[in-house]
Amino acid sequence: MPLYESEDAIHRIGLGVLDRTLPKKEWTHAAHFAAALWLMRRRPLINLVAEMPGLIRAYNEATGVANTDTDGYHETITQASLRAARAVLDGHAADAPIHSVLAALMAGELGRSGWPLAYWSKSLLFSVEARRRWVEPDVAPLPFAPLKSPAESE
């Protein structure tokens, strides 16, 4: 059975992050990707590279999670995940249901929450520096291209 069986379920996750009403217990690894895919497909004018950090920080704060040097928002993981989500989305037809794209994503390497450790050492990935800003991988090159802003995509 798929994690999220319908577009309505994905829509609920995406909106729940935007309006900060998604229950904290539902902010899972799959929900992170569901929100990213939904935003990419349903809110294409949002510059996710620039705006996702604020969206996640605000969501964290609304659910009682502090954004510190050891908890909450993590820039490198977020930006890597956005790149990965875009690559997976681009590998599907433009009209493919988001819940199907998410199911395919979760069935592969990206479905494991530790997937970034294939590209970053644990010490670098969980460093304060990587939490605060984008840090290039030190184990293997990330196979996903940086996201373009909506203006660059036109």
* Series of mean pLDDT values for 10-residue runs along the chain (154 residues): 81 97 96 97 95 97 96 97 98 97 96 97 98 98 91 68
Beta-carbon contacts of residue 62 (< 8 Å; ≥ 6 apart): 20
pLDDT at 25: 95
Beta-carbon contacts of residue 135 (< 8 Å; ≥ 6 apart): 76, 120, 124, 125, 127, 129
52 class by beta-carbon count within 10 Å (0-12 exposed, 13-18 middle, 19+ buried): buried
Q: Which residue type occupies 87? A: A
pLDDT at 77: 98
C-beta separation of 80 from 131 below 8 A: no
Q: Which residue type occupies 135? A: V
pLDDT at 46: 94
Residue 109 CA, chain-centre distance (Å), reads 14
Q: How far is residue 75's CA from residue 87's CA, in Å, rounded to a whole number?
A: 18
Q: How far is residue 129's CA from residue 121's CA, in Å, rounded to a whole number?
A: 13
pLDDT at 150: 78
Q: How far is residue 47's CA from residue 146's CA, in Å, rounded to a whole number?
A: 12
